[in-house]
Structures are given as structure tokens and as C-alpha cells.
């Protein structure tokens, strides 16, 4: 079978297997943007997110983690850091039954369209008074703190690692302040390992700390997720 053209893309393949979309080069399209577009068009999680009404493919990362580790229980109170465009907040609201019984509070620098059961503020989590605003919105201790925050990539691996670890450390400190005993903390990190000082602190404050990589996280991606469960409470 020869190639077919579809919406500016070239589709090649045989009828016995899924066709792969290849995006044509263009004078106004860089190689990196072409490769990103090809990856999106051929990503089954992107297609599934559209079918199931999720804001992003990232929703399935949380779905897969929660299916295995059961951190999002009905009636739980959740804070979602770095929430936009809202995939994790959608999953959390559904699984904790917000707003009927559970509660989800979310924050991001970017705009996020309203999600039923989610209270959202647009601001920088690193602002000095942002953590207190989130606590006030939640109205009590949290059961789960989620963080999918990521700094803009520089392309320099060490710099990117340091930037995301600074966000994780800030999120972890906030989690210690707001979590109820038995609570959980889930945050994005990068391969290269979580800093030993942070891991030591989390292992002191949580019963179980591990790195997880859900199937929805692309194999070539350097991202991992740090999962800490069984918060021991503040001393």
C-alpha cells in the first residue's frame, strides 16, 4: 500500500497494523516541532485522552499510579500543584467524589478552564503566601498532595535537574505542613535520582518512599514520580 496524505501529514503502513502518521517538513516548521507533532499524532494515550474527555495524556499517569497504589480514596482532600491543563485534577475529582464528599484544590501559573469539583487559583506556588492561600481554600488538612510541576527545560540536563528538584523540595515541605497523618505525597522528578537529603527527610516522615514510572510516561522520557505514603505527622 502506498502512502496516503491526511491533513498535511503522510500516512504510511500496511492494513495489518496501525498506520503511522508522518508530518511533512515545512519552511515554517522546525525539526523539533515536527518530531513533537508526529509523536503526539502517534501517541495512543493522546488519542485515548481525547476519547475519554481528559485534558491531557498525563491523566493516565495518575490513573495508573492510583490503580496500583490506591492513594485517591473517596472523600479524600487533595491539593494539585502545577495543575494546568487539568488532567490530574480531573482524575482526582472523579476518584475522591468531589465536591459531594471529597475536595480538590489546584494551583498553576497558567490558566485552567473550570473543572467540576475543583477549586483553582492562578498563581505561582512559590509565591510566599500561596501555600497559606491553598490551606485556606482546603479548609483543613490534606490527604494527598500531588505535584506535576516542572520548570521550563533549558536543554542542559544538570540545570533542568536542579530546577525541578527545587520545585519538588518546595512541594515536599508544603506536604509536610498540610498533610494529615497517613497522607500521601506524589511528585514528578527526573531520572538522575532524587537528592539524598530529600529522600532521607521523606523516609523519616513517611512509612514508604519509592520511585514509580507508570506506563503512560514515555519510555524515552527522563521523568519519574516520587511516591511517599503513610505520613507520620508533624512532631
Mind telling me the catalytic residues? Answer: 188
| Cα–Cα distance measured from residue 227 to residue 148, given in angstroms and rounded to the nearest whole number | 12
Residue 19: helix, strand or coil by DSSP?
coil
User: What are the b/e assignments for 197-215, b being 16+ CB within 10 Å?
Assistant: ebeebbeebbeebeeebbe
| Those residues with Cβ within 8 angstroms of residue 207's Cβ, 6 or more apart along the chain or in another chain | 229, 230, 231, 232
- In degrees, rounded to 5, the angle at the alpha carbon of residue 73 between the alpha carbons of residues 70 and 74 is 155
Is 181:231 a contact under the CB 8 Å cutoff? yes
Nine cell digits for residue 116: 467540576
Residue 12: helix, strand or coil by DSSP?
strand
How many other C-beta atoms are found inside a 10 Å radius of the C-beta of residue 44? 11
| Cα–Cα distance measured from residue 107 to residue 114, given in angstroms and rounded to the nearest whole number | 12
Element (H, E) at 61: helix 59-69
Amino acid at each position: 500500500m502506498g502512502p496516503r496524505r491526511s491533513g498535511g501529514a503522510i500516512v504510511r503502513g500496511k492494513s495489518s497494523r496501525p498506520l503511522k502518521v508522518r508530518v511533512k517538513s515545512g519552511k515554517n516548521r522546525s525539526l523539533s516541532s515536527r518530531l513533537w507533532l508526529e509523536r503526539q499524532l502517534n501517541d495512543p494515550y493522546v488519542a485515548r485522552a481525547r476519547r475519554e474527555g481528559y485534558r491531557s495524556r498525563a491523566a493516565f499517569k495518575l490513573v495508573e499510579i492510583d490503580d496500583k497504589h490506591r492513594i485517591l480514596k473517596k472523600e479524600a482532600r487533595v491539593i494539585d500543584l502545577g495543575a494546568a491543563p487539568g488532567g490530574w485534577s480531573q482524575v482526582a475529582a472523579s476518584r475522591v467524589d468531589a465536591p459531594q464528599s471529597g475536595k480538590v484544590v489546584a494551583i498553576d501559573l497558567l490558566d485552567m478552564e473550570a473543572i467540576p469539583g475543583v477549586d483553582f487559583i492562578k498563581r505561582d506556588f512559590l509565591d510566599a503566601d500561596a501555600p497559606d492561600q491553598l490551606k485556606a481554600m482546603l479548609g483543613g488538612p490534606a490527604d494527598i498532595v500531588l505535584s506535576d510541576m516542572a520548570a521550563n527545560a533549558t536543554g542542559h540536563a544538570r540545570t533542568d535537574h536542579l530546577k525541578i528538584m527545587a520545585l519538588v523540595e518546595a512541594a515536599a515541605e508544603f506536604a509536610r505542613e498540610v498533610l494529615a497523618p497517613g497522607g500521601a505525597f506524589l511528585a514528578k522528578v527526573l531520572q538522575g535520582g532524587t537528592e539524598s537529603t530529600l529522600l532521607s527527610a521523606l523516609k523519616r516522615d513517611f512509612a514508604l518512599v519509592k520511585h514509580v514510572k507508570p506506563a503512560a510516561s514515555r519510555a524515552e522520557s527522563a521523568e519519574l514520580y516520587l511516591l511517599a505514603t503513610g505520613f507520620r505527622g508533624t512532631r
